[in-house]
Chains A and B, each alone.
Chain A
Amino acid sequence: MINRERTFITFQVGLALAALLVGTLLGPFQALEHSKIDLYPLLKPLISNYYQGLTIHGVLNALVFTTLFIMGFHTFCTINGLNRRLKWFGLAATGLGFMVLGFILAGTTMFLNQATVLYTFYPPMKATPWFYIGLTSLIVGSWMIGWSQLATLAEWKKENPGVKTPLITMGCMVNTILWQLATLGIGIQMLVLVIPWALNLTPATDALLNRVLFWFTGHPLVYFWLLPAYVSWYSLLPRQVEGKLFSDPLARLSFWGFLIFSTPVGFHHQFADPGVPVVWKYIHALLTFLVVIPSFMTAFTVIASLERAGRKKGGTGLFGWISRLNWKNPSVSAQLLSGLIFFFGGIGGIINASGSLNLVIHNTTWVPGHFHLTVATATTLTFMGITFWLVPHLSRKNLKLPKIALASTWTWFIGMIFFSLGMHWLGLLGAPRRVPFSTASYDHPSWHLPQALTGIGGAILLVAATLYFISIFATILSKEKAAAPIEIPIAEAEIEPSHTPAWLDYWKPWIILAIILVIIGYGPILIQMFGNINAVSPGFKVW
C-alpha cells in the first residue's frame, strides 16, 4: 500500500480508537451507577453530571468512533480490493479535515457542558450551535470521503468491464451508498431545521418533524454500523479460519437486500409517538421484517463457511467443527464471539420491531440492553478483532501481547452477557432508560437483582476495555518492526465470483430501487409534515 493512503487510513483508525477510548471508559461508570454505585464524584470537575457523561458516551461511541472507523475500513477495502490508489485524494483529505473539525467541536462543547442533549439531541432541547455544526461537519466530511471512494470504484469499473467488483470493495461501497442515502434525513434536519434555530435565525421548531428526520437516518445507521462487520465475516474471517467463503453470489445478494430494505423503516422507532399515522407505522413495521431476509442469509452463509473450514480441519459431529476454528487468534475469537452475541441481539430486534410488543419495552433499559449486543458488541467487538490485524498491518509491527488481546475478547463477551441480561430484565420490569437510578425519585425492590447484574457486567467490561487498549498501545509503541509484511486475510469463495450472475454486479438498478423505496416510505408523509409544519417550540436549556 502506498504511504499516502496508509497515512490517511491510519489517521481515521487512530482517531476512531481515541474516540472509543474516551467514550467507552464512561460506560462502566453508567453501568455501576445503575447498580447504585455512584462513582461520578471521581469525574468532577471534568464531568458534572450523569447526563453529560451519557451524552459523551453516546456521541463518541455511536457517532464518532463508528463513522471514523468505518471510513478508514472502507478506504482500506476500496484500495486493497481494487488494488489502486484513491481517486480525488484531495477531496478525501478535505473530508477527513471536516470530520476532525466535527470531532473537536462536538467533543469540546460536550466537555464544556454546553451540549448535554444526548446523542439523539431531540429539539426543542437546545445546545450551543457549535455542537450541531460539529455533528454536521462530521457527516459532511464522511460524504466527501465516500465520494472519493465511489470515484475510485467508477474508474476501476470503466477500466475493467465485465470483471466482478471484489467482494470486500463491493460490500463497503454498498455501505457508502446506504450512508449517503440514509444521512439525507439528518442532513436536512440539521441544515434546514436545527442549525438556523440554534443560531436564533428561526424562532421555533417542530419537535415531531425533527424526530421523523432523525429516525430517517437513525435506523439505517444501524445497518451502516453492521455492514462493515459483515464484510469482515464474509470476506476476511473465512480466511482467518483457513477456509473459504461459502458463496460469493449469496453474499452479494444480501448486501443489496440491506441497501434496499434498511432505509424506509424509521417509524419503528416511533411506534409510541403521537402524530405519526398508524398506517405509516405498520408500513414501516412490514418493511422492517423484510430486513430479516438478508440477515438470515448472512447467518447461513457465514455459518456454512465456518462449518466447512472446521470440518476440513477434522471437526466432526454436529458441533465438533466449532472447536477447530483458530480460537487462539484474538481476531478470530473477537469475531466468533460477536457473531454469537449478535444472534441474541437479532432475536431482541425482532421483538422491538413488532408494534405491540414494542409498547412494553419502548424507552426502557431493554433498549440500551439490546443495542449493546448489536452496535456495542457485534460491531465494536468485530472492529476490535479487525484492529488486531489492521493496526499491525498499518504500523508494520506484530500484534503485541496477543494473550491479553485474546483475554479482552472473552472478557468483553462475558461482561456483555451479564450487562445485557441485567438491562433487558430491568426493562421488562418497567425501568426507564436514561435514568441515574441512585438519585431517582422512585425505586422498586424487584429492580435490585438485575441492576446488580448490570453493574457486574460493567465492571467486567472495564477489564475488557483496559486489556484491549493495553495490547493496542503496546503494539503501537513497540519499536520492533515485523520481519515480513502483515497479510490482509482476504478469503477466496467456494462458489466463485465467476459463477455469480452479472445482475448482482449491476449497481444502478439496485440504487434506483432503494431510492424508490425511500420515496414511497417517506415521501408522502414528509410532504404532508413539511406542508403543515407545526413550528411552535422555542429552545430550552434543561441542564
Chain B
Amino acid sequence: MEVNPYEKVWMGITITAIILMLIATVMAGFGLGVQLPGASQTVDPKKLSSEPPFNQPGVYEVAPGKYQVIMIAYTWAFNPNEVRIPAGSEVTFKITSRDVTHGMLLEGTNLNIMIIPGQISEITRRFDQPGTYLFVCHEYCGVGHQAMAGKVIVEP
C-alpha cells in the first residue's frame, strides 16, 4: 500500500503518544495509588433499615485517625449529610442507595463515585486541610436532584 512519508512520521507520533498515555494511566492507577472503585459487595435496598451496617448510618472512628462513614443516599438527601472529622484522618465511605441511582462528588477532590442500588460503593480518602467541603449528588435522581447535598467538615 502506498503511504506518504509524512503519514508514516505522523503514525509514529500517534503510536508513541498512545504508549505514553497508557504508561501514564497505568502509573496513575498502580503507582500513585489513584484508586478506581472496583468489584463490590451487593446489598438488598429493601433491607437497609433492618440489616447492619446500613441500619445505623453515621461516622465511626474505627482506629486512631481512621474513620468509617456508613451512608445512605435516597431521594433527595444523604444520611448523614454532615461528616465531621479531625484533620489528618483517613476516611472510608461505605455508601449505598435506598431507591434510584445517585452519585457523590466532593468539591475540590477526586472523590467521585456512583451510588447504585444493590451495590455498595466504597472509597477511601485522606483529609489533611481543615475546612468545610461541599458534596453533591451528581446523577439525576428526580425533581429534587438539585437539592441533594451535604458537607464534610475537617476540624483543625
Chain A residues with a Cβ under 8 A of chain B: 49, 51, 116, 118, 120, 122, 124-125, 206-208, 211, 246-247, 249-250, 270-278, 281-282, 285-286, 289-290, 292-293, 296-297, 300-301, 304, 350, 354-357, 359-360, 362-364, 430, 432-437, 439-442, 444, 495, 499-501, 504, 534, 536-537, 540, 542-543
Contact = CB atoms under 8 A, between A and B. Distances in A.
Contact of A354 (B25, B44, B121): B25
Given A124-B99, A278-B29, 7 more contacts: A51-B143, A271-B36, A274-B40, A276-B38, A355-B25, A360-B110, A430-B107
A187 B143 CA distance: 28
B149 A360 contact: no
Contacts of A118: 140
A281 B37 CA distance: 10
27 contacts: A51-B142, A122-B139, A124-B99, A124-B100, A125-B100, A207-B118, A211-B101, A273-B119, A275-B116, A276-B39, A278-B36, A278-B39, A297-B14, A300-B7, A304-B4, A355-B25, A433-B138, A434-B139, A440-B147, A441-B147, A442-B136, A499-B1, A500-B1, A536-B118, A540-B100, A542-B100, A542-B141
Contacts of B119: 207-208, 273-275, 534
B91 interface: no
A307 B147 CA distance: 52
B118 A359 contact: no
B100 A274 contact: no
B36 to A, nearest CB: 5
B118 A272 contact: no
A350 B15 CA distance: 14
A347 B100 CA distance: 33
Nearest to B33: A356
Contact of B36 (A120, A355, A360): A355
B105 interface: yes
Given A118-B140, A208-B119, A540 B7 contact: no
B90 to A, nearest CB: 18
Nearest to B7: A300
A207 B119 CA distance: 9
A49 B142 CA distance: 11
Given A272-B37, A290-B18, A296 B101 contact: no
B137 interface: yes
A537 B45 contact: yes
A274, A293, A300, A301 — which one has the most chain B CB atoms within 10 A of its CB? A274
3 closest Cβ contacts across the A-B interface?
A542-B142, A432-B138, A278-B38
Nearest to A436: B146
Contacts of B28: 354-357
A272 B114 contact: yes
B40 A275 contact: yes
A542 B26 contact: no
B34 interface: yes
B36 A354 contact: no
Nearest to A435: B146
A426 to B, nearest CB: 12
B21 interface: yes
Contact of B44 (A206, A282, A536): A536
B116 A273 contact: yes
Contacts of B136: 432, 435, 442
B14, B115, B118 — which one has the most chain A CB atoms within 10 A of its CB? B118
A423 to B, nearest CB: 14
A527 to B, nearest CB: 15
Contacts of B140: 51, 118, 120, 122, 434
Interface in B1-45: 1-4, 6-7, 10-11, 14-15, 17-18, 21-22, 24-26, 28-29, 32, 34, 36-40, 42, 44-45
B145 A434 contact: yes
B21 A356 contact: no
Contacts of B108: 430
A300 B10 contact: yes
A501 B118 CA distance: 52
Nearest to A442: B149
B120 interface: yes
Interface string B45-64: 11000000000000000000
B100 A249 contact: no
Contact of B2 (A247, A281, A354, A543): A247
B68 interface: no
Contact of A296 (B1, B4, B10, B107): B10
A421 B75 CA distance: 32
Contacts of A293: 11, 14-15, 18
Given A356-B34, A536-B45, A289 B100 contact: no
Given A250-B3, A289-B22, A274 B114 contact: yes
Contact of A435 (B6, B101, B122, B145): B145
A127 to B, nearest CB: 12
A495 B2 CA distance: 8
Given A354-B25, A434-B139, A495-B2, A275 B39 contact: yes
B88 to A, nearest CB: 22
